[in-house]
Amino acid sequence: MSNDSGSVYLTLAREYGIVCYGKRYLYGIAEEVTEMARRLGAPTYGRRYVGNTSKREVHDLDNEDTRPNGCQIDEIIRAGHARIFDPDTLAQAHAEGYDNGANCVGGSLR
């Protein structure tokens, strides 16, 4: 290999270094985002309203009650009971028979 090729590899390594750093940086942002109320990943995809198919209740993640006996969104997701609405509105959740979550929406319809 000539010195010129070595320079090319070094340049590539530097470029990969930048790429890797960018990924870590993005992952860092993603980790911060997961601490917010809305969940960007599956199955909620950053939506505001999340239905619990087990209790047929809808939760407002912009007003999530994160106390142990609150909305329990992570538990709902883990149990496979989370679903989203299209459009992402409270009215759509009501139209599909979902009741208001007591802690985040309030005013039960039942």
Using rule CB under 5 A, residue 50 touches Zn ion: no
Measured distance CA(63)–CA(41) in Å, rounded: 19
Residues 80-109 contacting Zn ion, CB under 5 A: 101, 103-104
CB 86 within 8 A of CB 50: no
Task: Report the nearest approach of Zn ion to the CB of residue 20 (Å).
Answer: 39
CB atoms under 10 Å from CB of 78, counted, come to: 10
Can you give the C-alpha Rg of the chain in angstroms? 22
In the structure, how many helices (H) and strands (E) does the chain have?
3, 4
Closest distance of CB 7 from Zn ion, Å:
58
Residue 101: CB minimum distance to Zn ion, A: 3
Q: Which is nearer to Zn ion, 24 or 55 (CB)?
A: 55
Among 39, 47, 59, 83, binds Zn ion (CB under 5 A): 59
> Rule CB under 5 A: which residues touch Zn ion?
59, 71, 101, 103-104
